[in-house]
Structure 1
């Protein structure tokens, strides 16, 4: 027998013993494990080929909470009735589970609780100083939209909208991360954008090595996927080091008389315990990159989905444009937060896009306490993984009516339910202590972006059908299809007596 054959047999035996030990350790009243035929493989085939159909069938047969066995790991699936108990439990950690899936801390040299600190950055910089960034953000969006999309006097097909969106959002976010001086550095903008692309690649890597043991999968991410990220981090350090040295020089010279910049770098430099005589550039660059994924990648995905929904439903364009004119009758290029908050129709359309284009199974948590006990009596032991069955929440007829699977852009009007509000009925941004801390900034940024596009262009799907293509799903996570979009200069044609109430149709 060859060495390779021996190794394969040995790894299979190891996987079987690992699985047997998992069954021996079931000491709690755990949720039912969905039946499967094939050892080791478990439910992985059904999970990968059609996760939507698979989970729907499991829920009908096993109820609100059940466990599945995929990629060598038990995962407890929780739906609408018990999902909020996971978010509100101190014994469940989303950051610990996320680090298991994509070991960012180990790749970037950050402490294990880096996501908690990233949340502090979002609260204190992106949200706490949002009023200062509103003008700069809109100026940046106008400039970059003009440059990358253009006037479109003749219809213009953008073959890869996601890449254009990445460039625009990256430029906007980079300014908040590193300030005005470095924010205009095209190379640094490209570096942050490339990090977002590399991170997305890591998120899409199948977990096949988990059949042997989860450790093998994590090591493959670190060894292969992490190499490019390490290069990116080094490039970030090379870019920010001179700027930080100049900031510290000015601080020593002028002391309290110096007005410091408002950006993420300055927030990091002002943290207690930072040795300004011996700056830890690995830590600062790592924190900037950790923020980048949330601030750029997820925002781009949301805008991409929003544009696909808008381009395939032209009946909403005039109504949304009319709202812009009512709020901003002088057509000022720069709007304030109060005006942005009054975009109720736009907000409702965005929330509907988030609801229907969101993930099927997401928001993974790991049990870090002795156990997580649910109100129905089931217990999930320490170390277990839990994922939220989001589609079960966001497509529920009891919550959203008998047409819950249909897109209706104004479904959320007059319901005091803005896109940034988290609740048991809307979990796109999480909930409780695990809710996304930067969601208010993200929603405002998307509304500013969408407002400019609605005023400037008619946007349509490039295919003959004009229908929105379905998203593709990897490991329960939904990604928009790379569908080309047509942008054409907008000509205002609506009737001032336009009926604001649209029919609930696709």
Structure 2
């Protein structure tokens, strides 16, 4: 007990030192204005966490299109609709580096820091380019998992928290593409991929309070929390390797035996094996298992949130029910998608989804780290190397100049006939990013989402217990779906 005062004094000194470093850092650059704050160390953290929406509105009104705030022990620059495209298109700003600081996947899994390059290649070369070959497999899995997770609802069935149900459905689709048909039969392996992605998702909820001391300490706390939590990474890696190793060895044996006549499976394991520089005589199973686990987060969590947000909006807007059901019966009359053209013709569903994404997304997100000598904006402001800059998404997605006098109002058919499918990125729609950092797997994701939503629309009458769309829950600027109860009933076919 006698050491407590000394510890508090040392801790306070550390806080003050880091505060002074941040407050009086090198100002040789023409940096954006730093929003005034009253309390040292705390800065704007309380205002940011308590009501980020009104805090940003006030800052933008007073400081203009670009400003910096002091939150969780570090300075963050905020840009909106005028300058966001300059961040996305700059070679001097990296989303990957900033994301690794927030969710340290590479350090958790022991992967190289460029692991996201392979994640993007997996999304593009496997999920997107092989989309047609996965069509039958995907819809078969979706139908089966909907029946298993929701089932027959002869009597109204209340699901109190929809996200875990949708996550279970989506995770099966993704895992099948990750590891192939044979390994997909291993339920333990499927559960590992699903639980790993879910644990990473939970890290987004972790408050950055330790950032007051230093952002590095916050990152280390995440790594320690994950490694020494319920499921240790080494044990998880070992289990995944034990599952995939015999399958990989068999594939390599067949490749040696049959040569060019061997037809390899189409999945993410094979894609990684075929990468240049991979030593097939000495396979790095830690690297392959780590890449597969890393790919689960991007491909499961956002799709799950998108479908959950869709169902919350759909269930609370009965004026769209008949139209969207009629579209499903027109383009999917036999409950079977024979080609991608069927899915692309669901233009009403596509427009509805794009509006869901626009209005249910984050207020502030997509933080980039300046990795070049500087990031220079067209208005003359500069950010030095190591600075963080994030996108004020609500300023983009609720812009009255683009979306009319009532940009906060939901219009499910806003995009009909405007060549603006849900997968299309633009300066005024950043749900999938933009430019150099646009989500490479968005086309597959949209097709998967449209198939799953279509199945649910045709199979069930879906209503919401509260009769209105509940607002999403905000952690800082990040939106999470509200666990509002939904009611599912079998549709009565005429």
TM-score range relative to shorter protein? over 0.9
Whole-Å separation in 1 of the counterparts to 2:236 and 2:310 = 30
Write the deviation string for residues 376-424 of structure 1: whole angstroms up to 9, x where unpaired: 0000110000000000000111111111101111111111111100000
Whole-Å separation in 2 of the counterparts to 1:99 and 1:3 = 36
Residue 294 (structure 1) aligned to one of 294, 298, 301: 298
Provide the residue aligned with 1:424 in structure 2.
427
The reply on whether 1:364 has 2:364 as its aligned counterpart is no
The reply on whether 1:4 has 2:4 as its aligned counterpart is yes
Residue 462 (structure 2) aligned to one of 453, 456, 459: 459
Q: Is the 8 A contact 1:107 1:229 kept in 2?
A: no
Provide the residue aligned with 1:95 in structure 2.
96
Whole-Å separation in 2 of the counterparts to 1:223 and 1:170 = 26
Offset at residue 113 of structure 1 (A): 1.1
Provide the residue aligned with 2:63 in structure 1.
62
111-120 or 231-240, which deviates more: 231-240
TM-score, normalised to structure 1, is 0.95
User: Where do residues 217-236 of structure 1 align in structure 2 (5 Å cutoff)?
Assistant: 217-227=218-228, 228=231, 230=233, 231-236=235-240
The reply on whether 1:469 has 2:470 as its aligned counterpart is yes
Q: Is the 8 A contact 2:337 2:343 kept in 1?
A: no
The reply on whether 1:153 has 2:154 as its aligned counterpart is yes
Give the 3-state SS of the residue equivalent to 2:383 in structure 1. Answer: strand
Offset at residue 257 of structure 1 (A): 1.6
User: Where do residues 281-320 of structure 1 align in structure 2 (5 Å cutoff)?
Assistant: 281-320=285-324
Whole-Å separation in 1 of the counterparts to 2:201 and 2:299 = 13
User: Where do residues 111-150 of structure 1 align in structure 2 (5 Å cutoff)?
Assistant: 111-150=112-151
Offset at residue 117 of structure 1 (A): 1.6
The reply on whether 1:383 has 2:390 as its aligned counterpart is no
Whole-Å separation in 1 of the counterparts to 2:56 and 2:474 = 13
Offset at residue 234 of structure 1 (A): 2.9
Task: Give structure 1 regions of 4+ aligned residues with deviation exceeding 6 angstroms.
Answer: none
Q: Is the 8 A contact 1:139 1:334 kept in 2?
A: no
Q: Is the 8 A contact 1:198 1:229 kept in 2?
A: no
341-350 or 188-197, which deviates more: 188-197
Provide the residue aligned with 1:445 in structure 2.
448
Provide the residue aligned with 2:278 in structure 1.
274
Write the deviation string for residues 271-323 of structure 1: whole angstroms up to 9, x where unpaired: 11111122111110111111100111111011111100001112211100111
Whole-Å separation in 2 of the counterparts to 1:37 and 1:138 = 56
361-370 or 403-412, which deviates more: 403-412
Offset at residue 467 of structure 1 (A): 1.1
Whole-Å separation in 2 of the counterparts to 1:456 and 1:119 = 34
TM-score, normalised to structure 2, is 0.97
Provide the residue aligned with 1:175 in structure 2.
176
Give the 3-state SS of the residue equivalent to 1:460 in structure 2. Answer: strand
The alignment yields a C-alpha RMSD, in angstroms, of 1.3
CA shift in 2, pair 1:229/1:123, >3 Å: farther
Give the 3-state SS of the residue equivalent to 1:132 in structure 2. Answer: coil
Write the deviation string for residues 347-366 of structure 1: whole angstroms up to 9, x where unpaired: 00000000000000000100
CA shift in 2, pair 1:392/1:492, >3 Å: farther
Provide the residue aligned with 1:237 in structure 2.
241
471-480 or 227-236, which deviates more: 227-236
Offset at residue 492 of structure 1 (A): 5.1
Whole-Å separation in 2 of the counterparts to 1:91 and 1:333 = 46
Write the deviation string for residues 141-178 of structure 1: whole angstroms up to 9, x where unpaired: 11111122112122111222111111111111111000
Whole-Å separation in 2 of the counterparts to 1:445 and 1:13 = 53
Offset at residue 123 of structure 1 (A): 0.7
Offset at residue 233 of structure 1 (A): 2.9
User: Where do residues 203-218 of structure 1 align in structure 2 (5 Å cutoff)?
Assistant: 203-218=204-219
Whole-Å separation in 1 of the counterparts to 2:369 and 2:71 = 16
Whole-Å separation in 2 of the counterparts to 1:149 and 1:352 = 26
Whole-Å separation in 1 of the counterparts to 2:116 and 2:356 = 27
The reply on whether 1:262 has 2:266 as its aligned counterpart is yes
The reply on whether 1:184 has 2:185 as its aligned counterpart is yes
Provide the residue aligned with 1:322 in structure 2.
326
Give the 3-state SS of the residue equivalent to 2:416 in structure 1. Answer: coil
CA shift in 2, pair 1:241/1:354, >3 Å: same
Q: Is the 8 A contact 1:34 1:67 kept in 2?
A: yes
Whole-Å separation in 1 of the counterparts to 2:309 and 2:358 = 11
Offset at residue 241 of structure 1 (A): 1.6
Whole-Å separation in 2 of the counterparts to 1:362 and 1:398 = 22
Whole-Å separation in 2 of the counterparts to 1:145 and 1:20 = 55
Give the 3-state SS of the residue equivalent to 2:132 in structure 1. Answer: helix
Whole-Å separation in 2 of the counterparts to 1:299 and 1:334 = 19
Q: How many residues align?
A: 490
CA shift in 2, pair 1:17/1:478, >3 Å: same
Write the deviation string for residues 462-502 of structure 1: whole angstroms up to 9, x where unpaired: 2xx31111111113110001112111111357xxxxxxxxx
CA shift in 2, pair 1:284/1:405, >3 Å: same
